[in-house]
Amino acid sequence: MHSNGNGPTRTGIDRRTFLAASSALAATAAFGGFPGSVSAGNGAFTLPALPYADNALEPVISAKTIGFHYGKHHQGYVTNLNKLIAGGEFAGQPLEKIITATAGKQEHSGIFNNAAQVWNHTFYWQSMKPKGGGTPPDELKKKMQDSFGDVETCIKELTAAATSQFGSGWAWLVLKGDKLEVTKTGNAETPLTTDAKPLLTIDVWEHAYYLDYQNLRPDYVKAVIDKLINWEFALANMGK
Ligand code: MN3
């Protein structure tokens, strides 16, 4: 994909969209929990605020990528979901309930795909942070050692899952029973519909990295794990 640079018009629009979404959300105060309760008073879902500024993940992920990925793709899933559920049996239902109720049902595939993508992306933004990566906190480190032998093997498996997922999808660190596992899912699929509890995820759809890394998905995956991955978020999810 050819980029024509940071044209002021496009960047300006993306920033305004981002800021409008953030302030609208703050105004409704509807984002009480994570990440299921993202619906506003009228039952429609709103785009959850990013947990950091759109340039906070640079240079690993550019503000331009965040502008499209969050401002266009994530917003698009929210908008589509609202259209698809309006006036129907899923209107007003919590996001996680919609996902589990529609999973594997052909007649609801549109709702499932958009609902799961809303949830997966909110989870993905939380799975990274500026100055992330590094050594996991002790409790998570011990769990990695119990489950994989050592931290390095856990990271190696997560890297391999993210790199080898064929086509669009996600790599996940999950808790299954009392052990950690690494999994990968295609398209909008999510471990939420299984007995495994998601702890963190890496988006490996091309839109997550193509502007910054083009076809070099392994470079994106390595940089995210080394420099952005939010081990504290994974640990917090483990305890829930
Ligand atoms: Mn994505």
Q: What DSSP letter does each residue of 43-70 carry, written as one string?
A: S-B-PPPPSS-TTTTTTTS-HHHHHHII
Ligand 1 geometric centre to CA of 64 (Å): 14
- % of the chain residues with pLDDT over 70: 82
| Range scoring the smallest mean pLDDT among 3-12, 149-158, 160-169 | 3-12
Closest C-alpha among 172, 201, 157, 166 to residue 187: 166
Å from CA of 207 to ligand 1 middle: 6
238 alpha carbon to ligand 1 midpoint, in Å? 23
Neighbours of ion ligand 1 (CB under 5 A): 203, 205
Work out the number of other CB atoms within 10 angstroms of the CB of residue 218. Answer: 14
Q: What is the pLDDT of residue 40?
A: 58
- Ligand 1 centre distance from Cα of residue 26 (Å): 23
Q: Is 240 helix (H, G, I), strand (E, B) or coil?
A: coil
Please, are residues 191 and 185 in contact by the beta-carbon 8 Å criterion?
yes
The answer to whether 220 and 208 are in contact (CB under 8 A) is yes
Q: What is the pLDDT of residues 154-170, one digit of tens each?
A: 999 999 999 999 999 99
Please determine, for residue 185, whether its predicted confidence score (pLDDT) is greater than 80: yes
pLDDT 10s digits, 53-109: 999 999 999 999 999 999 999 999 999 999 999 999 999 999 999 999 999 999 999
Query: What confidence category does residue 14 fall into, taking pLDDT thresholds of 50, 70 and 90?
Result: very low
124-135: average pLDDT: 98
With 60 as the cut, is the pLDDT of residue 239 above it?
A: yes
Q: How confident is the model at residue 41 (pLDDT cuts 50, 70, 90)?
A: low
Angle at 204 between CA 215 and CA 47, to 5 degrees: 125
- Per the prediction, the chain carries an average pLDDT of 87
At residue 21, the pLDDT reads: 38
Spell out the domains of the chain, with CATH numbers in brackets.
Answer: 15-126 (1.10.287.990), 138-238 (3.55.40.20)
Q: How far, in Å, is the centroid of ligand 1 from the Cα of 173?
A: 17
CA 149, 134, 186, 74 torsion: positive or negative? positive
Q: Is the pLDDT of residue 32 over 80?
A: no
pLDDT at residue 123 tops 80: yes
Token pair, residue 223, equals: 């940089």
Asked if 77 contacts 121 with a C-beta cutoff of 8 angstroms, the reply is: yes
Ligand 1: centre distance to CA 135 (Å): 26
Are the C-beta atoms of residues 190 and 119 closer than 8 Å to each other?
yes
Classify the phi-psi angles of 88: left when phi > 0, otherwise alpha if psi is within -120 to 50, otherwise beta. beta
DSSP class of 128: B
Cβ distance 207 to 217 under 8 Å?
A: no
Q: What pTM did the predictor assign?
A: 0.84
